[in-house]
Structure 1
């Protein structure tokens, strides 16, 4: 790509020479032989036009490449070339005002000096009557050859031009250091030392959406990333199995009686309570209960199978809940309100499912969505007994039946 830029610079010089040569030839046909002053003016015109276009071309490429560099590109480059990444980070992020000051100063100088001197020399060669025509042509050349074309190249091929651009900007900063420092001081007064905003969560999500549309990120990956950003805003109450649909057993229930009650139960962990549902004292594993066989002695109760269950406040956020599960090596917790009443249950599976956006089935579970099944079973029992159901629960049940393909 660097060779292509060199070729374009050579093309700019060639076009400048062609333009001046054509105009010069026209002038020869209608004017006396050129004097020495006009010969010098032609030479200077070629020099000024060429320098203005070439320098402006390089500055436009450098500016576009610099602004196209993303933070993620710099971080990725750090793994391959730490030194280059360090220099690039300095130019693009930490001292971007210095980089832009150097580029824009040189570009402005090239345009201004080139236009003034080229206009002066054209007046000597062609006469004042042609200055307006020359200025119009010069403006078009600057527009296309030092703005549109180079900025398009910089935007499309910025990855290939990063190395060359970095050295070019550093050279400009060294050459124009006094002006750059003055510009940096003025910028600091305007911004009052505030850091320039570089990245935000919304921008990242927009990048994910764009990557999904372009096919670089598939549906599942996009869903996980979006869920991850939403994850920190959710509370345990958003994903819990509500109290009214919890399948719980009394800890004083006989094991043989419990075996009959839970034989067809799809849940692998069953909460145990003392006096009532607000007094959840632990949980028991279904498999352990089903393996029990009376030996002729005193029959065991479910309290013999009871395992410790932790209670968490209903205000707990999901990231904290996940951390709690991992730290305590637990997979189930009871959610309580500010008065100590039970609001529902939450499991590690619920948290992971929310993060991944898919249902996870425990090796001992028979269904994927425990919350949906619990609600459906409660609705059936309530309807059989003639209870009036809350509207919210009825709506949830209808939606889940529809999604499950039930008629």
Structure 2
């Protein structure tokens, strides 16, 4: 090597720097590849993605090949640089070679190629796999030797090295982060639905049910004329049918079957005849998780369930529409038009809210974070904080929300003004 001309040595040194840059960029790009995007591309037939997946199946071997190649190249470059600078500057050449080669390798073989590879991993990793795969086969004996030693040392400190990239899984919270960070790749509406699906596990039937005091049903104890009038004017598709009290439900009536009842008139309407048009009621425990409810509805071909507590008392009803709205949002107007909305903006950040409004509906509508792990309605939440029914108009804080009670009945808070405060 001492006999070689300096020009040839400088050319060889430049080539080694380029090869070092290749290994550095290959390592960064391979490790920076999005594994889920890579799997999708490989399934779509992308050859570069398939090669990269094969290499990443054993990351210890891949890193071994890259590091062996990179270190061999860098060591050879340092030897050549020492020879060249010694020829030019004598004994001081070793110092000059060390300083110059350190700067050159840092800039041209480390920082710059790794930065480019981190920003554009696929553009670097896929072409690099053409070289790395045969190189891995060529250096297999050396890789196995180095790998066995390094893996043995890793096991000594309690690190398992046999699990490859296929062992990677996303936890629900990590998947939520992926959806949040997807940006414009997923439309905002679809992103909201995906997040709502992930949130289903955190809610139960009790969170979305219609409470029994708001349930509209057919009471068989009423007169035939009253029942027919109710059926003719009902805006609901399905109605529970009961005797005197909803706890004595006998079935669920689909109004599609009520046409014949209406046509025959009150003279032929009897409790037994009306009952013959009903379906068997389907009961749902109030603590049932929403994903379980969805599967049960699908399995039993049901669209409505009667929610019961641990004592068998009917607490309300839940419908398939209520469940789907947890995923896609409100997709239908209220079947019963009302002049009084549950949540009304009254200006300056204040909202007038009905006492029976669901806390989940308030949070979803206003983007608030009222606690949902206790009472399910705003009235229940306020009563829990007050520990009694207020005698008149009072104010209180619930976390960072200022609440002013506006209307109170004998049994509950019927209306209140709420404002989210910065404190």
In which range does the TM-score fall when normalised by the shorter chain? 0.7 to 0.9
Q: 1:233 to 1:150 in 2, by over 3 A?
A: same
Determine whether 1:90 maps to 2:62: no
Pick aligned residue for 1:322 from 291, 294, 303: 294
- Count of aligned residue pairs for this structure pair: 346
Q: Kindly indicate which of the two structures has a greater share of residues assigned to strand.
A: 2
Partner of 1:250: 219
Q: Equivalent residue of 1:78, what SS? A: helix
Q: Is the 8 A contact 2:16 2:74 kept in 1?
A: yes
What corresponds to 1:124 in structure 2? 87
Which of 380, 390, 396 pairs up with 2:412?
390
**Structure 1 partner of 2:196:** 227
Find out whether 1:211 has 2:182 as its counterpart: yes
What's the counterpart of residue 3 of structure 1? Answer: none
Deviation at 1:374, TM superposition (A): 12
Q: TM-score, with normalisation over the residues of structure 2?
A: 0.71
TM-score (norm 1): 0.74
Task: Tell me what 2:147 maps to.
Answer: 184
Q: Structure 1 regions of 5+ residues with no counterpart? A: 1-36, 380-385, 403-407
Tell me which residue corresponds to 1:346.
318
In the TM superposition, residue 135 of structure 1 has moved relative to its aligned partner by 2.2
- More moved, 121-130 vs 350-359: 121-130
1:49 pairs with 2:5 = no
**1:181-207 CA deviation, whole Å, 9 max, x = no partner?**
134324544233563563423333223
The alpha carbon displacement at 1:244 in A equals 3.0
Decide which of 72, 76, 80 is 2:44's aligned counterpart. Answer: 80
- Cα distance between partner residues in 2 of 1:349 and 1:374: 23
Give the structure 2 partner of residue 24 of structure 1: none
The answer to whether the 8 A contact 1:205-1:226 is kept is yes
Larger relative contact order (CA 8 Å, sep ≥ 6): 1
In the TM superposition, residue 128 of structure 1 has moved relative to its aligned partner by 1.7
| Map of 1:20 onto structure 2 | none
Pair 1:101-2:64 in alignment: yes
Distance 2:269 2:27 in 1: 83
* SS of 2:246 mapped into structure 1: coil
Q: Return the offset for 1:304.
A: 4.2
Matches within 5 A, 1:122-201: 122-189=85-152, 190=154, 191-193=159-161, 195=163, 198-200=168-170, 201=172
CA 1:193 to 1:126, structure 2 compared with 1: closer, same or farther past 3 Å? Answer: closer
Larger-gyration structure (1/2): 1
1:323 is displaced (CA, Å) by 1.2
- The match for 1:71 among 5, 10, 35 is 35
Aligned equivalents of 1:117, 1:89: Cα separation in 2:
36
CA apart distance, 1:59: 0.4
Greater shift, 169-178 or 82-91, is seen at 82-91
- CA distance in 1: counterparts of 2:116 and 2:332, whole angstroms: 49
Q: Distance in 1 between matches of 2:297 and 2:131?
A: 54
Q: Does 1:299 align with 2:269?
A: yes
Q: How far did residue 331 of structure 1 move?
A: 0.5
- Per-residue CA deviation, residues 15-69 of structure 1 (Å, 9 max, x unaligned), is xxxxxxxxxxxxxxxxxxxxxx865262563255224302211101211221122
Gaps (5+ residues) in structure 2? 343-353, 358-377, 379-407
Higher helix share: 1
Q: Distance in 2 between matches of 1:247 and 1:284?
A: 12
